[in-house]
Chains A and B, each alone.
Chain A
Amino acid sequence: MTDAAAAEPADDQGQTRDLSNARDMIVCEEVSKWYGDFRALDKISTTIKEQEVVVVLGPSGSGKSTWIRCINRLEIHQEGRIVVDDVELTNDLRNIEQVRSEVGMVFQQFNLFPHLKVIDNVSLAPIWVRKKPRAEAEEQAMAQLERVGIPEQAHKYPGQLSGGQQQRVAIARALAMEPKIMLFDEVTSALDPEMVKEVLDIMKTLALSGMTMMVVTHEMGFAKEVADRIIFMEEGQIVEQGTPTHFFENPTEDRTKLFLSQIL
């Protein structure tokens, strides 16, 4: 996977790439979801191409997190269709397993397994889900930890690491499954300001390596710099989407303008 990505020439930062010929990685058709009375997702339709980096913005409670959690079926959508890498998310056990092992996810609260060492956190899933021999899995786990820059912490427990380091372990844990898509759910929100950069840097590198990424974040700098497309959501709907240039410089919708004026 990484090899394939490295073969592609890296795009210039912030420039829109032409991805029109790329494969569809995630297809959402009129996806809706309710929590009781509350409509969390309202007919979301969009397509995300291979290698595309999509940043989802929006005020809190707008359904961003719900949406990306639907994509690896941590939440179950009630109407519409989600197809990930040609596999539709239904009640089919095989499809769910396949999608989950192809989609990596990083959480706001890290959610590392506190009773396992860092190396075991990273290698657990490859051993038991991908059924790899332990030695091989641990070797790859070390490689992933090197990729996120903390191989020396491999034999510590998560509780002994700083927030930034924990989040990097969480990224390594997701990458160890060799996913085709990475989902990031406000990964920097729970971090102290001085640790945000180390996590964002890794995400940038990952984006440059050609990973398909969906990022829910409040980091506008990151969005401007890395995103191929920005999706703005409010009240469970996609209000506006477009390139960073379009989005930040001349947004068309009033709600987007209001949002931008509040945060910038």
Chain B
Amino acid sequence: MTAPTTHERAHQRVPLWRDVIVLKWVAQVFLLVVVLSTMFFLATQAGDNLRARNIVSTFDFLERPIDIQLSEGIDTHPDTGARALWTGMVNTLRISVAGIFFATLLGIVVGLARLSDNWLVRRLGSMWVETLRNIPLLVQMIFYFSVLTTLPRVGLGTGPINGWFHISNKGISMPRVFIADGFYQWLMVVGVGAVAAHYVRRHRQRIQDETGAMTSPILWGIGTVALFGLIGIFVHPMFTWMGGIFGAIADLLDSLPIIAPQILFSVVALGVAARWISRFLTDHRSVRGHLSLSDDDWFRIAFAALASLIIVFVLVRWTGFSSWTLNSGRDLFHVLEDKFNVDGAARPFDAMRPDIIQKSRFPNYGKNGLTMSIGFAAVFFGVVFYTSAFIGENVRGGILAVPKGQSEAAMAVGLGRGQVLRHVVLPQAIRIILPPTGNQYLNLLKNTSLAVAVGYSDLVQIGQTTYNQTGMTLPVVAIWMLFYLSCSLSISVVVNWFNVRMKLVER
């Protein structure tokens, strides 16, 4: 396998067609060629067919005006394709984040219910799980949707609690608290509070460790943050100067030539690859300097080098990416600048009650309240209920997987039930619960794409409208996949990070 064997003892040459290493690589290269040529063949066919239909797939439609009206989102009358798709992405993310939050809460409740000592609660939990997870999510969503559409019309002076909470065939409307102009400054104050809370917590913990008195460090930490939040409501204008800094950064980014990000990214790519290769080599080098690399190791090194070179090549050839990063970086900092450049009278939060306005014959919800359209509500209840059944099962399985001996041992040293749960069972159970729950988060995100069936303007629905209008199916599908892939990747990175942390804590 290594060089010396084959070179020093050349008297028994291995015929090529019997050499395991050669065969192994021939088979792999053959498969690679087959895969690549199949893809090439399909791509050529698609190109020919598209040309025959006079369709040229480009991303130009992103810049062009588009005639589309959305039911809800940050921009209900987007002027370009890009803006429309961006609205869809925000809508998808919005419902995913809300869904993940509430599904987790409900899932924990369901899981605990299934472990309850109470027979009736246990039954209720298992009924919930067995019903919801055995009916397709889409069927559930459509059912909720069809029930919601047949609710009574909205009217002035109706609703379960008029002026506060309305349910009708236009959706659900309730009071809302929203971010006002001073919010970002306030956030800075809270950030300072978090740093302070860290030290307060450590201090209290030290006191507890030294004296043995119960000082509840976590409560103190939370209290500190809350205190800063309260103070922040009054003092937040003191952070207005940060707007100037962000503005300066934006101007700096604007003045940079395109070559700057190109050089930066290339250096990072090459550096990472070089560092990885050198570490790989030191890991495989013995103390005496003997280097033993198998063919797989060589492949890894070559692959790392090749990948970095490809990245550099793409960066050089595709200047659009570099200018896009520059522009979007500039825009981001300009936005931040705007957020901070507000006068001192701004408030961090505002709250409003739902209103009902009657413009034409039928009254409708106004803009004041937090309104869930029926599309949103159907998707939201669908994913939350459905995912809660799965998360509940994870929670239950995780807690059951902690051996009974653990809690018995903890009880034996005199810990109370709550302490056993908090200090012994949960830390172990979370390690088991987290990976499958992360998977459920991924599924939830992907499942929001079913919104297309109930008319909620998520990315897939808007994408469908877009390609129906422009005929740009391939680019839209590519954008979909890219978006979902990067979201999935982000979620799994976060979940992995937690996983690693949990493992370290455990050891």
Partners in one complex: yes
The yes or no answer to B296 lying at the interface (CB within 8 A) is no
**Could you tell me if B9 and A91 are in contact, using CB atoms closer than 8 angstroms?**
no
Q: Which residue of B lies closest to A36 (CB)?
A: B284
Cα-based distance from A116 to B285 in the complex (angstroms): 43
**Could you tell me if B9 and A81 are in contact, using CB atoms closer than 8 angstroms?**
yes
Chain B residues with CB under 8 Å of A220's CB are: none
The yes or no answer to B283 lying at the interface (CB within 8 A) is yes
Chain A residues with CB under 8 Å of B290's CB are: 34
**Could you tell me if B4 and A79 are in contact, using CB atoms closer than 8 angstroms?**
yes
| Contact partner, B23, options A37, A88, A93, Cβ 8 Å | A93
Q: State how many angstroms separate the Cβ of B472 from the closest Cβ of chain A.
A: 52
**Could you tell me if B2 and A91 are in contact, using CB atoms closer than 8 angstroms?**
no
Chain A residues with CB under 8 Å of B12's CB are: 88, 90, 92
Provide the main secondary structure of the chain A interface: mixed
Q: How many residues of A contact B (CB 8 A)?
A: 18
**Could you tell me if B19 and A93 are in contact, using CB atoms closer than 8 angstroms?**
yes
Chain B residues with CB under 8 Å of A96's CB are: 20
**Could you tell me if B2 and A79 are in contact, using CB atoms closer than 8 angstroms?**
yes
Q: Which residue of B lies closest to A81 (CB)?
A: B9
- Cβ contacts B374-401/A at 8 Å (1 or 0 each): 0000000000000000000000000000
Q: Which residue of B lies closest to A94 (CB)?
A: B18
Q: State how many angstroms separate the Cβ of B71 from the closest Cβ of chain A.
A: 57
Q: State how many angstroms separate the Cβ of A160 from the closest Cβ of chain B.
A: 28
The yes or no answer to B357 lying at the interface (CB within 8 A) is no
Known: A91-B20, A96-B20. A78 touches B14 (CB 8 A): no
The yes or no answer to B292 lying at the interface (CB within 8 A) is yes
| Contact partner, A90, options B2, B14, B284, Cβ 8 Å | B14
| Contact partner, B2, options A78, A92, A93, A94, Cβ 8 Å | A78
Chain B residues with CB under 8 Å of A150's CB are: none
Cα-based distance from A79 to B286 in the complex (angstroms): 15
Q: Which residue of A lies closest to B12 (CB)?
A: A88
Chain B residues with CB under 8 Å of A80's CB are: 5
**Could you tell me if B9 and A39 are in contact, using CB atoms closer than 8 angstroms?**
no
A76, A80, A81, A90, most chain B CB atoms within 10 A: A90
The yes or no answer to B505 lying at the interface (CB within 8 A) is no
Cα-based distance from A76 to B2 in the complex (angstroms): 10
**Could you tell me if B1 and A78 are in contact, using CB atoms closer than 8 angstroms?**
yes
Chain A residues with CB under 8 Å of B14's CB are: 90-92
Q: Which residue of A lies closest to B284 (CB)?
A: A36
Q: Which residue of B lies closest to A33 (CB)?
A: B292
Chain B residues with CB under 8 Å of A36's CB are: 283-284, 286
The yes or no answer to B311 lying at the interface (CB within 8 A) is no
Chain B residues with CB under 8 Å of A92's CB are: 12, 14-15, 18-20
Chain B residues with CB under 8 Å of A90's CB are: 5-6, 12, 14
Chain B residues with CB under 8 Å of A37's CB are: 285-287
**Could you tell me if B21 and A91 are in contact, using CB atoms closer than 8 angstroms?**
yes
Q: State how many angstroms separate the Cβ of B69 from the closest Cβ of chain A.
A: 62
Within 8 A of A (CB), among B6-63: 6, 9, 12, 14-15, 18-23
Q: Which residue of B lies closest to A87 (CB)?
A: B12
Chain B residues with CB under 8 Å of A88's CB are: 12
**How many contacting A-B pairs (Cβ < 8 A)?**
47
- Cβ contacts A56-84/B at 8 Å (1 or 0 each): 00000000000000000000111111000
Q: State how many angstroms separate the Cβ of A85 from the closest Cβ of chain B.
A: 15
Cα-based distance from A93 to B18 in the complex (angstroms): 5
| Contact partner, A91, options B4, B19, B285, B286, Cβ 8 Å | B19
**Could you tell me if B19 and A39 are in contact, using CB atoms closer than 8 angstroms?**
no
Cα-based distance from A259 to B128 in the complex (angstroms): 66
Cα-based distance from A78 to B283 in the complex (angstroms): 17
Q: Which residue of A lies closest to B295 (CB)?
A: A91
Q: State how many angstroms separate the Cβ of B367 from the closest Cβ of chain A.
A: 66
Cα-based distance from A82 to B285 in the complex (angstroms): 24
Q: State how many angstroms separate the Cβ of B308 from the closest Cβ of chain A.
A: 25
Chain A residues with CB under 8 Å of B292's CB are: 34, 78
| Contact partner, A39, options B4, B6, B286, Cβ 8 Å | B286
**Could you tell me if B1 and A93 are in contact, using CB atoms closer than 8 angstroms?**
no
Cα-based distance from A91 to B20 in the complex (angstroms): 5
Q: Which residue of A lies closest to B22 (CB)?
A: A91
Chain B residues with CB under 8 Å of A77's CB are: 5
Q: Which residue of B lies closest to A34 (CB)?
A: B292
- Cβ contacts A88-109/B at 8 Å (1 or 0 each): 1011111010000000000000
Q: Which residue of B lies closest to A96 (CB)?
A: B20
Chain B residues with CB under 8 Å of A38's CB are: 286
Q: Which residue of A lies closest to B24 (CB)?
A: A91
Cα-based distance from A34 to B12 in the complex (angstroms): 23
Chain A residues with CB under 8 Å of B2's CB are: 78-79
| Contact partner, B286, options A34, A76, A81, A94, Cβ 8 Å | A34
A-B residue pairs in contact (CB < 8 Å), sample of 29: A34-B290, A36-B283, A36-B286, A37-B286, A76-B1, A78-B1, A78-B2, A78-B4, A78-B292, A79-B2, A79-B4, A79-B5, A81-B5, A81-B9, A88-B12, A90-B6, A90-B12, A91-B14, A91-B19, A91-B20, A91-B21, A91-B22, A92-B12, A92-B15, A92-B20, A93-B19, A93-B20, A93-B23, A94-B18
Sample of 14 more A-B contacts, CB < 8 Å, known A34-B292, A91-B21 = A34-B286, A34-B290, A36-B286, A37-B287, A78-B1, A78-B4, A81-B9, A90-B5, A90-B6, A90-B14, A91-B14, A92-B14, A92-B15, A93-B19
Which 9 pairs of residues, A with B, have the shortest CB-CB distance? A92-B14, A37-B286, A93-B18, A91-B19, A91-B20, A78-B2, A92-B18, A34-B292, A91-B21
